[in-house]
Amino acid sequence: MSNATRALPLLEAGAGVSGEDVAVAACCAPLAERPLGVEESEAAARMFKALGDPVRLRLFSAVASHEGGEACVCDISDVGVSQPTVSHHLKKLREAGLLTSERRGTWVYYRVEPAVLAAMGRLLALPSAPSVPPAA
Amino acid sequence: MSNATRALPLLEAGAGVSGEDVAVAACCAPLAERPLGVEESEAAARMFKALGDPVRLRLFSAVASHEGGEACVCDISDVGVSQPTVSHHLKKLREAGLLTSERRGTWVYYRVEPAVLAAMGRLLALPSAPSVPPAA
DNA sequence: GCGCTGATTAGACGTATGTCAACATAGACG
DNA sequence: CGTCTATGTTGACATACGTCTAATCAGCGC
């Protein structure tokens, strides 16, 4: 199978994270700080789109809130859709860089990627002191 | 500009349908705190989906970062798509509760909804102690 | 009123997306 | 080896989405 066309995740933290990718830095500027560039918007949109589905959001939340920070597919597959659909959504989340997966014996465990989550949080951060050097 | 002066009540949803959007803003429990419920996931997914498009993300960022916290359509419509498409995306953002619009004379001004932005940020917040529940 | 500019709406069209049933693969266990 | 359980993949389908052009609505100035 060729993953050549797969969307590059925002973060390469999956295995042996070492260098912050360019996309990481590009994606960390709050939306309200300055207008987003084209490439930034495409990278960030991939993340938001990955969470833009109720089922994916529940799967992601289930993994993120699961004890130990990881969850077996069997633990979270009760979201009202068929098992292949669950697998499909988990793959989407993985491709978006939000989750990582690891097979241990019979089961496959998913784990959240905290750095990507934090990057998205920063994007939505409101400027408490926007860009106004107030009274000085 | 300090948007602190504009601390709006909660959410008024200038789009017309008010009930849904309020639920959106009320959806504030971090994704990693506990598994998201069905309704919560649908509400939150609407928000994320609204930002899951590069053009919308750029429009939103343009409004959010614009001087005065608001922007005329004419100021932000240079995103590489036709003007009706811009209007379409702005409508989507409005329906998602992320923007509000107001016509003043010839031009229509868009403004970000800080409460919704903050709600999304809270959703992505990482728990301070992931696998160490303090009080069970 | 008429025309002009700005913005939204309507309709159409191609593509992406979410879903499922069916099949394939991976490991465990007898 | 055979089989059973757990995940992933394939192919098909209906729907949603993003985009455009053309038409319509909303103020402003002549």
Q: What is the mean pLDDT of each run of 10 residues along chain B (136 residues)?
A: 34 38 62 91 95 97 94 95 97 97 96 92 78 47
- Regarding predicted confidence, which is higher, B134 or A9? B134
pLDDT recorded at residue A10:
44
Chain B contact probe: residue of A27, A33, A38, A48 with most B CBs at under 10 A: A48
Report residue A126's pLDDT band, with 50, 70 and 90 as the boundaries: confident
**Residues lining strand D, beta carbon within 7 angstroms:** A 1, 72-74, 77, 83-84, 86-88, 90-91, 101, 106-108; B 49, 52-53, 55-56, 81-82, 84-85, 88-89, 92, 103, 105-106
Nucleotides of chain C in contact with protein CB (under 7 A) are: 5-10, 17-23, 26-28
Give CA–CA dist A96/A93, Å, rounded: 5
Please state which CATH number belongs to domain B12-123: 1.10.10.10
The token pair that represents A11 in the structure block: 């973060």
The token pair that represents B118 in the structure block: 């903050």
Q: What is the DSSP letter of B131?
A: S
pLDDT recorded at residue B127:
76
- Residue A125: alpha-carbon gap to chain centroid: 16
pLDDT of A68 strictly over 50: yes
Q: Point out which residues pair with A71 in neighbouring strands.
A: A110
- Regarding predicted confidence, which is higher, A47 or B6? A47
pLDDT recorded at residue B28:
66
For residue B64, give the nearest of A31, A112, A132 by CB distance.
A31
The token pair that represents B79 in the structure block: 């995103």
Residue B118 at interface with chain A, using a CB cutoff of 8 Å: yes
Residue B82 Cα, gap to closest chain A Cα (Å): 16
Which chain B residues are closer than 8 Å to A49 by Cβ?
Answer: 48-49, 52-53
Put simply, the answer to whether B35 touches A58 (Cβ < 8 Å) is yes
Report residue A127's pLDDT band, with 50, 70 and 90 as the boundaries: confident
CA angle A123, A127, A132 (to 5 degrees): 140
Please state which CATH number belongs to domain A22-123: 1.10.10.10
Terminal Cα-to-Cα distance of chain B (whole angstroms): 43
pLDDT recorded at residue A29:
84
Chain B from 8 to 67: CB within 8 A of any A CB: 31-36, 38, 41-42, 44-45, 48-58, 60-62, 64-65
Which chain A residues are closer than 8 Å to B57 by Cβ?
Answer: 31, 36, 41, 44-45, 48
Do A34 and B65 touch, CB atoms closer than 8 A? yes
Domain ranges of chain B: 12-123
Which chain B residues are closer than 8 Å to A41 by Cβ?
Answer: 54-55, 57-58, 61
**DSSP β-ladder status, B70-72 and B99-104:** unpaired
pLDDT digit string, tens, across residues A89-112:
999 999 999 999 999 999 999 999
